[in-house]
Structure formats: C-alpha cells, structure tokens
Amino acid sequence: MNELVAGGNVPLPDGAVTLRVPGPFDLSVIVTGDSGKVAGDADFVFYNQPATSGARLQGDTVTVDGRRLRAGASRVTVAVSPAEPGTPLGRLPAIALQVHGPGGRLVARFTPPRPDRETVLLLAEIYRRGQGWKLRALGQGYADGLAGVARDFGVDVAEEDVAEGVTQPPVSAGSPVAAGASASVHAGASPSFRPAASRPPLPSGPPAPDGFLPLVNAARASVGAPPVALDARLTAAAHAHAAGMAARSTLSSEHSDGTSLYQRVVAGGYAYLAIGEHLVSGPRSPAEFVEYCLSGEQTRRTVHSRSYTHVGVAHTADARSGDVYWTALWAAPFSGQGLAEWAAAVLRLTNAERTAAGLRPLSPDPLLTVAAQGHSADMIARAFYSHTSPDGGEPWHRASAAGSTHRAIGENIACGQRTPAEVVDGWMNSPGHRANILKPSFTHLGVGFAGGGSAGTYWTQLFGG
C-alpha cells in the first residue's frame, strides 16, 4: 500500500479500481484523451449523470475500468466538492482518498493538504502509461466551483437561472457561480452539474419540543455562556436516535445496526468540531428533561459549555412501556480556523507540560501535521483505532510519506475526548503517552483531529526529532 503526497504516483493493477472519499462530499469524474479536453457530455460523471463507459459513481465511490473507457480516452480525473453547495472545503473534515484494486486490496491512500476557500479539489487522475494505468495524486483546488473545473477541461460554462431558466452570459474566468444558479456544461447539449434546486433538502425531522430552547439558553445565560441555536440536521439525528432507543427499550450511543450517533450526525450533513450529547429516559416534558440535564456535574457541564453553538433535541415514547427516550445533541460546526485553533491549543498545553518538566518546547511541523491529520481521518474512514493501520502502516511510514525527514518519530492517539485540554490531560495520565510528551529528543509536533466514527472524536499527536 502506498501513502501518496501531491504529485506522487503508483502503478494500478489490471482491472477495475475503486476510489472512495467518505464524508460530506460529492465526487465527479472527467474523462479525457491525450489533449486533456472532453469529447462530449458523456465524458462527465456526476450526481445527475452517474455513469459512462468505464466509469461509474455510486455514493462516495467511483469505479473506473480502463479497459472499458471510450475509444481515445487516456485519462480519468476525479474531483471532490462539498455535498452542501457553496461550502468551502476548508470547513469540512479532512479529505481522505482510498484506492482499492480488484478483490478489494488497498492500493493507495492520499490525504491532500487541507484546502481553505476552495469549493472543488482535483483529487487524483488515472492515466494510461504504455499498456497499463497509473494513478497520480493531485490536490489542485478551485475557488469557483465545478465551473472552473469544466472550463479547464475545454467546456463552455454558462449560468442558468434556476427559477426563470434564462441563460446568462458565459462566466468569466475566476468568478464564482452565483448563489441559486447552476453551472451547466456545454459540449453540445449540456447537462447540469447537480443544480442547487435539485439537491435533496437537509433532513429536518419533527420540530424540537416546545419550551426546550428558552430553558437551556436561560441556563447558559446564568453562567455567562452565549445562547445556542436549534439546528435541523442535529434535530433529525436526535429524532432518529431517540426513536431507535425507544424501539429497543435501551439507552445506547449506537443503533441496532452498529452505527454510532456520531456517524449519523456526520452522515446527516453536520461536520463538527465539538460535540456532546444527553441520552436520557424518563422525563415527560422539556422542563423535566432540562432539569435532569442540570442535576449532575458532567451533564450540567455540557449544557453550560461555551464550545457549542447549535443543539438538536427530540424524544420518542416506547410503545410497550410508555417510557420516553430523549436525545439532545450539542455541537459546533467544523471549520479550518477552528481546527487550527484546536491544534494550537494541543501544542500549547503539551509545551506547558514540557516547560514544567524543564524541557524545551516543541515547534509546530506542517508535514507532521499532514500525517497526523490523515491518521485521525483514516481511523474514522476505515473504522479502526490503532497506531498500526489495517494495511500495516506505522507512524514513521506516515511521517515519511508526508515528506518528513525527522530521524525519530513517536505518536500518541486518543478517541472520545471532547476538548484539547481533556485529551492532553488524558495523555499525561497515561505513562506511555506521557513519555512521548516529555521525551527530550523530540523537537517538533504535528496535531490531527477528526470528528465522527464510533467514538465521536479522534486525536493524533505525531512527534519528530
């Protein structure tokens, strides 16, 4: 298995290969010849046109079979964009590409550097080399969406007003597609790149119980915490989870199919930086539920936490016993700035421990950060929790693949902790993790964080020296 960096390439096995990007993303495929230009509409695979000869899109996975591509095709480019229109990729979880060959064997992985304001990323390309095929990692971003991608592949792009159906003048290079408009590709008769009006609406579920929000915001105001706002995606996830608990007559953070509450939140379109929850049975009204949440130190801390900006809440009665099951979800949305602040906090707290022990502080390392972030995202994407990845990759392999030249490498991982302070405190209370933090020969640190999976949060510290 190969850990790729931007520009790296790897030979592909014969037969069909799959490229998967888990998370709140859309994939698109552009098929071209040696000229790098499309031949017609059939050369695009995306949400509204999920298949062409030799390439098929299904959910978060693209399958490409070079033997079945149209005559003259020599290159297949895969692009990734946010599932929610107009969202900068920097606000979403890390992009982690997994490439599998026939039989499901993992061939390569690629975690590109985190985008900022870009709304589309050319992720990878499959290209013919002699009689075989190779894959190259790209990581080229576009701030003007799929329209910019289409132009670079030889397509005329126009804005179409969704409400009126009026074709506007061609979009000028570098200008974003207007909100509420859809980018249409014109290579002959043109399909539309998943217009905003045709996207499935965000899940809404039933409204939150009357009276809940004023009660919790009053409780927050009493300790000087800002108010939270109801979020439809969190409410939908809370409703589904409460209904599942009521159906099984049990309190649990997992559904009957093994899916965690956190996976349901992410799948519903809410990528988070911070998350908390209350899972309760018994209260018959919002007032009783909030009273319970404020009755214990830990549950009260969640209600009062300044980390959260949104909340979703729902309840369902068990048809057999009549018991009422409640789920409240507290969260703050993911952002690139938020991730950077949390990584800086982990570094600051780590260095405070080193300074107290008479050691020199660690310096931030961008290459180690790329590797650490990739490992946190990979643990969620492939559902494991270990220093050794399912294909045998170790911390020093990940550091080297990211371009690091440090001779000494160490790694701490953790899952489930909700804040930088909590995770550093946990590491310091574990002898092995503490030894890494206080190792004199380490000079640099990279920090990774990802939300989702079975535990909700996954943290990585990658040390170098």
| Lowest model confidence (mean pLDDT) among 40-54, 161-175, 182-196, 317-331 | 161-175
CA-angle at 113, arms to 106 and 37, nearest 5°: 75
pLDDT at 387 over 90: yes
Question: Is residue 252 within 8 Å of residue 448, measured between CB atoms?
Answer: no
Give me the percent of the chain exceeding a pLDDT of 90. 51
Q: How confident is the model at residue 201 (pLDDT cuts 50, 70, 90)?
A: very low
pLDDT, position 188: 31
CA distances 107 to 9, 65, 126, 144, Å, are: 11, 15, 13, 31
Query: CB-hemisphere CA count at 13 Å for 457?
Result: 22
Alpha-carbon distance 404 to 372, whole Å?
A: 12
- Condensed to tens digits (0 to 9), the pLDDT of residues 322-380 reads 899 999 999 999 988 899 999 999 999 999 999 999 999 999 999 999 999 999 999 99
For residue 144, the one-letter residue type is: D
Average pLDDT score over residue span 29-49:
82
More confident call, 175 vs 337:
337
pLDDT at 174 over 50: no
pLDDT, position 60: 84
pLDDT at 253 over 90: no
Q: How confident is the model at residue 237 (pLDDT cuts 50, 70, 90)?
A: very high
Q: How confident is the model at residue 151 (pLDDT cuts 50, 70, 90)?
A: low
Question: Is residue 127 within 8 Å of residue 34, measured between CB atoms?
Answer: no
- Alpha helices, H only, 207-285: 212-221, 232-248, 261-267
The closest alpha carbon to 2, from 399, 391, 396, belongs to 391
Mean pLDDT of the chain: 83
pLDDT, position 308: 96
Torsion of the alpha carbons at 353, 355, 359 and 364, rounded to the nearest 10: 80
| Lowest model confidence (mean pLDDT) among 106-110, 312-316, 460-464 | 106-110
Q: How confident is the model at residue 194 (pLDDT cuts 50, 70, 90)?
A: very low
- Condensed to tens digits (0 to 9), the pLDDT of residues 397-456 reads 999 999 999 999 999 999 999 999 999 999 999 988 999 999 999 999 999 999 999 899
pLDDT at 162 over 70: no
CA 71, chain centre distance (Å): 36
pTM, two decimals, is 0.60
125: three-class secondary structure by DSSP: strand
pLDDT, position 144: 63
pLDDT, position 211: 87
Average pLDDT score over residue span 200-220:
72
Question: Is residue 221 within 8 Å of residue 303, measured between CB atoms?
Answer: no
The closest alpha carbon to 79, from 9, 138, 159, belongs to 138
Token digits of residue 400: 């080297």
pLDDT at 84 over 80: no
pLDDT, position 94: 83
| Lowest model confidence (mean pLDDT) among 28-37, 172-181, 325-334 | 172-181
- Condensed to tens digits (0 to 9), the pLDDT of residues 263-315 reads 989 988 899 999 999 999 999 999 999 999 998 888 999 999 999 999 999 99
pLDDT at 175 over 50: no
Specify the DSSP class assigned to residue 197: G
Return all residues near 425 (Cβ < 8 A) that are at least 6 apart. Answer: none
pLDDT, position 464: 96
Alpha-carbon distance 46 to 27, whole Å?
A: 7
Give me the percent of the chain exceeding a pLDDT of 70. 86
pLDDT, position 166: 28
Average pLDDT score over residue span 106-111:
88
pLDDT, position 145: 67
For 162-295, list the strands marked E by DSSP.
Answer: 167-170, 181-186, 229-230, 272-281
Alpha-carbon distance 353 to 374, whole Å?
A: 25
| Lowest model confidence (mean pLDDT) among 90-94, 169-173, 245-249, 275-279 | 169-173
